[in-house]
């Protein structure tokens, strides 16, 4: 069997708006700093925001890829990728949400397969639905990062997900508690969460990481972790993102041994 070049990480959550997209972008920035070639696939098919957040107009999307294959117009994978910078590319979600329903899961799987042959790191941003599409993506990626906020409803959602994963003996997930999304919401302590979930919170972004200028980054199409001196100006978040990235890559080494 041909060894794949890269490895994939999917960000998933039990509810919407927990910070998946922002975290995906910040992780892409860290992987770039680690000199990895990154593809961000926006599999939030109805409301993806990766290309929008990075101010990148897209000519080709996941929908064009599927449609072109179906109609024998497909030539090469790179035609469908939008360049952000030297090391980060984007595979954009459909421009029109009505196109999402027309994309069969097999095309998403083809994109993932091809991406892992061409990139060191493939980051998959999703929406939070446990749809057939998302389930098959979760099944196919190498690692999953569940992102949660600190509130009772989200805890119940994540507990459900973790229970399902444990029943299926799927252990390729880590859990991130993101308190930066909503600094006033801190219902549980990490101790509470660990014992309720019966699973560890692996990564924690604290309320101190609430970025007042987040909207500015989005307006400018910038990635916070790629800003000059980010390692000192947002040192705590930067350290957490670096830990996630290095542990992910280390696991890659083990996998290829």
Ligand X SMILES: Nc1ncnc2c1ncn2[C@@H]1O[C@H](COP(=O)(O)OP(=O)(O)OP(=O)(O)O)[C@@H](O)[C@H]1O
Task: Provide the binding-site residues for ligand X, judged by CB under 6 A.
Answer: 13, 16-22, 44, 127-128, 180-181, 209-211, 214
Min dist. Cβ of residue 112 to ligand X (A):
19
User: Which stretches of the chain bind Mg ion, using CB under 5 A?
Assistant: 20-21
Among ligand X, Mg ion, none, the one that 6 touches (CB under a kind-dependent 5 to 8 A) is none
Q: Toward ligand X, which CB reaches closer, 17 or 221?
A: 17
Q: Toward Mg ion, which CB reaches closer, 49 or 213?
A: 49
Among ligand X, Mg ion, none, the one that 22 touches (CB under a kind-dependent 5 to 8 A) is ligand X
CB of 125 within 8 A of CB of 43?
A: yes
Q: Toward ligand X, which CB reaches closer, 127 or 157?
A: 127
Min dist. Cβ of residue 254 to ligand X (A):
29
Min dist. Cβ of residue 193 to Mg ion (A):
22
Give me the residue whose beta carbon is nearest to Mg ion: 21
Q: Toward Mg ion, which CB reaches closer, 4 or 10?
A: 10
- Residue in 44, 38, 40, 55 with CA at minimum distance from that of residue 12: 44
Min dist. Cβ of residue 74 to ligand X (A):
28
Among Mg ion, ligand X, none, the one that 210 touches (CB under a kind-dependent 5 to 8 A) is ligand X
DSSP 139-179: HHSSEEEEEE-SSHHHHHHHHHHHHHHHHTT---EEEEEE-
Among ligand X, Mg ion, none, the one that 211 touches (CB under a kind-dependent 5 to 8 A) is ligand X
Min dist. Cβ of residue 4 to Mg ion (A):
26
Alpha-carbon distances of 236 from 92, 207, 242, rounded to whole Å: 30, 11, 10
Residue 116 CA to residue 109 CA, distance in Å, equals 11
For residue 20, how many other CB atoms are within 10 A of its CB? 26
Among Mg ion, ligand X, none, the one that 64 touches (CB under a kind-dependent 5 to 8 A) is none
Residue 257 CA to residue 252 CA, distance in Å, equals 9
Q: Toward ligand X, which CB reaches closer, 52 or 69?
A: 52
Min dist. Cβ of residue 29 to ligand X (A):
13
Residue 150 CA to residue 190 CA, distance in Å, equals 9
- Residue in 223, 237, 241 with CA at minimum distance from that of residue 54: 223
| Bridge partners for 232 per DSSP | none
Q: Toward Mg ion, which CB reaches closer, 50 or 188?
A: 50
CB of 122 within 8 A of CB of 39?
A: yes
Alpha-carbon distances of 116 from 3, 8, 98, 101, 140, rounded to whole Å: 10, 7, 28, 25, 11
């Amino acid at each position: 069997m041909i060894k794949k070049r890269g490895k994939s990480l999917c960000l998933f959550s039990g509810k919407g708006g927990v910070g998946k997209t922002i975290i995906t972008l910040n992780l892409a920035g860290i992987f770039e700093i680690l000199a990895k070639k990154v593809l961000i696939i926006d599999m939030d098919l109805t409301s993806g925001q990766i290309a929008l957040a990075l101010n990148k107009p897209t000519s080709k999307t996941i929908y064009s890829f599927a449609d072109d294959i179906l109609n024998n117009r497909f030539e090469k994978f790179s035609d469908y990728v939008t360049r952000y910078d030297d090391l980060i590319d984007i595979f954009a979600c459909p421009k029109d949400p009505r196109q999402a329903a027309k994309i069969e899961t097999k095309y998403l799987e083809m994109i993932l397969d091809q991406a892992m042959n061409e990139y060191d790191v493939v980051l998959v941003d999703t929406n939070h639905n446990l749809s057939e599409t998302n389930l098959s993506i979760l099944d196919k990626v190498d690692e999953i990062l569940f992102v949660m906020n600190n509130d009772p409803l989200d805890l119940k959602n994540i507990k459900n997900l973790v229970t399902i994963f444990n029943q299926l003996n799927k252990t390729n997930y880590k859990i991130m508690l993101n308190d930066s999304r909503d600094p006033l919401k801190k219902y549980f302590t990490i101790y509470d969460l660990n014992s309720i979930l019966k699973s560890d919170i692996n990564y924690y972004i604290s309320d101190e990481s609430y970025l007042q200028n987040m909207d500015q980054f989005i307006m400018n199409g910038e990635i916070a972790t790629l800003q000059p001196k980010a390692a000192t100006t947002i040192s705590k978040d930067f350290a957490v993102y670096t830990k996630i990235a290095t542990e992910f890559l280390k696991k890659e080494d083990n996998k290829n041994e």
